[in-house]
Structure 1
Amino acid sequence: MINGPVQHIASQQNAKVKEWAALLEKKQRDRTGRFILEGVHLIQEALKSGAPVETVVYDAERGLPAELEPLLRSEDGYPCTLVEASAAVMSKCTGTDTPPPVFGIVIKAEADTAQLYGPAALVVVLDGLRDPGNVGTIIRSADAVGASAVVIGRGSVDLYNPKTVRSTMGSLFHLPVIEADLMKLLPEGRERGIRLVGTSLQAEQSCFSYDWNGPTWLLLGNESNGLSAEVSALVDGSVLIPMRGQAESLNVAMAATVLLHEAMRQRHYR
């Protein structure tokens, strides 16, 4: 058995419930430095990675998911506050049509910029991406190839938007994901020897002939308009993903996956 007290909350009018539900809005996430994590898998990944999970709330009718019990078991009790809640509370605090059996309240991690630099740095930089699914998928792809970090520039979708968090499938907790002002960060990267590489349908060099070894930041732009003019002016070079069929272009998340896997191939599977 797991040691420690369990709180019970049934009313949607409970003050804690109102605080949690408010985290569905960006301004409240920014103000409190906290965000909501929905579902068993995401909470598993957060707990395994040592993320600062403050509270775990589960559906009283369905009970605490068995997958989470080993991660919550300790001689000293729960590592976080545990709350048993009504279905109405679960519905109020989550952003999906069908409420998950469990959600968590997590403290935002402080930005760790150390991984952005170094002789083997491979970083994905997002400039103005607005689709949560695209951002989440790119974070998963970066995680899959062992990239150093992902940087989300101002003007992109909020990293802690519940849709973005869900679409990362837990990769959010596997590598640094940093929100930054690109007009400050990119010049600093260049000064420290980082190559800034963009993508362009007009590029003359294929992503397969480009040398991805050495410290590299891959810059990806808005789904409709690509990189902003300000960011494009800082790019050291651009690459093209060759296509033999009739598609005009690839979705930005698909393109990121192709490019990242080519970088991994060159670095580790030559």
Structure 2
Amino acid sequence: MEILSTQNARVKEWAQLLEKKHRDKQEKFIIEGIHLVSEALRSDWDIQYIVYDTDKGIPAELREDISTYSGGAQYVAVSQAVLEKCTDTKTPQPVFAIVYKRNALLSTLLTDEQGIVMVLDGVQDPGNVGTIIRSADASGAKGIVLGKGCADLYNPKTIRSTMGSLFHLPVLESDLTEVLPAARKQGARLISTSLQGSTSCYEYDFHSGAWIVIGNEGKGISEQTAALVEEHVLIPMQGQAESLNAAMASTVLLFEAMRQRGFN
């Protein structure tokens, strides 16, 4: 299939996915570039369309991934103008894909009582949300929970910041007032960071797992969430900076948990 006009109805539908309200309505999102499309193919996500530059053809880097992909994606060649209309980056990538959303089940995150789960409460910066997902993936976390008020998981900036980790581990978007009590009931330990915490994160025992709650960049965790958190840990700092941003604090905790739990 080939589409050259930006006025094509399908192209207009794709371009709408740059806006959250249309992503929510269509239950789909757009990913740009060879790396992200490759990660989606390798992870066997449900891809509707793979769209590429008609002059350049399907990128050679994707051909092996396409050959082993078990899904039923349709392949569409388009003009440079269509690529520009449907992508978020200043320099349009030679390929993008339309992918169906996938929301994890809470039961998936509760199957391992000793797992590490990152919980984000009102983290509004797409770069922070994406980086935390990437760090959770890199450190072997069980999954991620995004509470209300977080940056949209499917925002192009969030997706780029995950560098493909979005496709590697379960991400649940839900109401923390429902998820966290259920997790506690299953035996999960809920911890958060605090400058007033009495226990250093390097002294805290992560061996039996933890649900690590990270709050809004300026306000921290909400009162409702704070009421559910059982323990607070401190990230020690020697310099003059007052605090770390949400992504850096998350990464420190995730990799300390990985270190304690037997990384060699």
Count residues in correspondence. Answer: 263
Question: What is the CA distance between 1:74 and its match in structure 2?
Answer: 6.8
* Residue-by-residue CA offset, 1:159-198 (whole Å, 9 max, x unaligned): 0111111110000011001101001111111111111000
Other-structure match for 2:86: 93
> Which residue number corresponds to residue 177 of structure 2?
183
Match of 1:168 among 162, 167, 186: 162
The answer to which of 232-241 and 104-113 deviates more is 104-113
The residue type equivalent to 1:256 in the other structure is S
Query: Aligned residue for 2:61?
Result: 67
Q: Which residue of 1 aligns with 2:47?
A: 53
* Equivalent position of 2:202 in the other structure: 208
Moved over 6 A (4+): none
With the length of structure 2 as denominator, give the TM-score of the two structures.
0.96
1:123–1:217 Cα contact (<8 Å) kept = yes
1:137 equivalenced with 2:131 (yes/no)? yes
Instruction: Evaluate the alpha carbon distance shift between residue 64 and residue 269 of structure 1 in structure 2; reply closer, same or farther with a 3 A threshold.
Output: closer
Pair 1:150-2:144 in alignment: yes
Contact 2:31 2:97 in 1 (8 A): yes
Q: CA deviation at 1:213?
A: 1.6
**% identical equivalent positions:** 56
One-letter amino acid of the structure 2 residue matched with residue 155 of structure 1? G
TM-score, normalisation: structure 1? 0.94
CA RMSD of aligned residues (A): 1.6
Gaps of 5+ in 2: none
Q: Is the 8 A contact 2:48 2:99 kept in 1?
A: yes
Letter in 2 for 1:26: K
- SS of match in other structure, 1:141: helix
Could you say if the C-alpha distance between residues 66 and 28 of structure 1 is closer, same or farther in structure 2, counting changes exceeding 3 Å? Answer: same
- The equivalent residue for 1:241 is 235
Q: Structure 1 residues 75, 177: closer, same or farther in 2, change over 3 A?
A: closer
